Amino acid sequence: MRFKILAIPFMRQYGENVALAGRDPQRFQIMMEKLKDQMVYAEKLGYEGFCLTEHHMQCEGIEATTNPLMWNLYIAQHTKNFLVGQLGMNLTAKSPIEVAEDIAMLDHMTGGRAFAGFSRGNTARWTATLGQHLDITSAESDGSEADQRNRRALYENWALVKKLWTEDLTSHDGEFWKFPANVPWEFNPTKDWSPADTVDSRGILAKGAITPRPLQQPYPKVYAPFSYSMQTARFWAGEGAKMVSFVTADKEEFMPVILDNCLEAAQEKGLNATNNDILALGAHLLTGKTEASRKRYKDMFTETFNYAYNAPPYHVPMGRVWNGGQQETLDQVMHLAEKYQIDEFFVWHHCNFFGDDLEMEALEEFAEGVIKKVNG
C-alpha cells in the first residue's frame, strides 16, 4: 500500500495571538526547517511522498503553502526517493502554459519524482485576485454563472496543459487562452529547425511548444481533491486522474454511486479503469502513543478546524479522522482498502502548529502501526 502526506505548514503555533504572522521572514524560515525535517523523517518511516495545497496571500500565517512547486523542489533536494506533488494547483486562475512548464521542470529536476494535482480554487481572496484578468473567482459548485465560468476554465486549461505535455507542436484557440498568441514571427532557428507549418503564410506564429516536456511519459500522475461534485468526479475520471477524498463515513453512502459514474466516464473515454485507478482516500492524522496525547491532539485540532475551516468562507466539514491507537487505525485503513478495493491513502498532517511532540509522534505511530504492518 502507498501512503502520502498532505502537509499543511503553519507560520504560527497553536494558542498564539500574533498579527500578520505570515509576513515574518524568521517565522517562514522556522516553518521551512520544520517541514523539511518532518518530511525527511517521513521518508525514513516509509511514507511514499507528500503534497501541498496551493494558497496565496495567507498573511495570517495559516496554511502558508504559497507555490507548492517550490516547496516540492525544496523537499526533493533533501530526500532520495520521496515523491513530491500538489493537491492541487489552481488550474482556473493561473496561466496553464506556465503551470505546464513548471510541473515539467519539476519532474526533470526531481528525476521523475513529481506528481501533479489540480483544483478549481476554493478561496475567493486569492483566486479572484490572481484570476481578475480572466474574470475568474473561486468555485462554489452552486451552478451560478461564476461557478460555470470557473468550470469552463478548468476544462479548457487542462486540455491545453495536456496538449503542451504531449504534442511536440500545438495550437489552441479557446475562450480563455490562445496558444500561441497572434504574433508575427521571423526567426532563423524557427525557419531552419521547426516544421514549415509553425509559421503561417502571413508570417504569423501558428504553433508552439513548451520547454521541456515532462520526464515521465506521457506526463506525471494526476490527482484531484474531491468532495461531492459528480460533474467534477466524472470529468477527472474520464481524464485518467485519481480523485482524493477525505469525506466521513456518514457521507460514504454516496461513494458507490460516485464510483459507478466514474468508471462509466472512464470507459466512455476508452480507459480500462478500476476503483484503484480513480480513487484514493484520506484522513486527518491525529494519532499518538497514548490516549491522553491523542485526546489532546484531537481537541486542539477540532478547535482549530472549526475556527479556520468549518467557518466562513469555507464551511468545510472536518471529514475522516484517524485518532485511535495503532490497531484501531490499522483496522480503519484495512476496512477502507477492502471495501473500495484501493491501495493508496493520503494523511492530512499539520506542521509547525501543534508542536513537534504531537506532529512527529503522529507520523511515527501511523508508520509503526500501519505502514510497517501492511508493507513489511
Instruction: Report the pLDDT averaged over residues 254-266.
Output: 92
Residue 11's pLDDT is what? 98
Residue 252 has pLDDT above 90, yes or no: no
Residue 23 has pLDDT above 70, yes or no: yes
pLDDT range class, residue 193, cuts 50, 70, 90: very high
pTM (two decimals): 0.96
Per-residue pLDDT tens over the stretch 123-143: 999 999 999 999 999 987 788
Contact predicate 259/279, CB 8 Å: yes
Instruction: Report the pLDDT averaged over residues 340-350.
Output: 97
The fold adopted by the segment(s) 1-81+222-376 is TIM Barrel (3.20.20)
Q: Where are the domains of the chain?
A: 1-81+222-376
Q: Give the rounded percent of residues in the chain with a pLDDT score beyond 70.
A: 99
Residue pointed to by grid coordinates 523542489: 73
DSSP 8-class letter at 222 = E
Residue 296's pLDDT is what? 98
Residue 249's pLDDT is what? 60
Of 64, 109, 87, the residue nearest 347 (C-alpha)? 87
Residue 142's pLDDT is what? 84
DSSP 8-class letter at 204 = B
Instruction: Report the pLDDT averaged over residues 343-347.
Output: 98
What's the whole-number average pLDDT of the chain? 96
Contact predicate 224/236, CB 8 Å: yes
C-alpha cell at 148: 460555470
Residue 121's pLDDT is what? 87
Contact predicate 126/230, CB 8 Å: no
pLDDT range class, residue 251, cuts 50, 70, 90: low
374's enclosing H/E stretch is: helix 372-375
pLDDT range class, residue 175, cuts 50, 70, 90: very high
- How distant, in Å, are the alpha carbons of 82, 124, 214, 225 from that of 286? 22, 29, 36, 20
Instruction: Report the pLDDT averaged over residues 179-183.
Output: 96
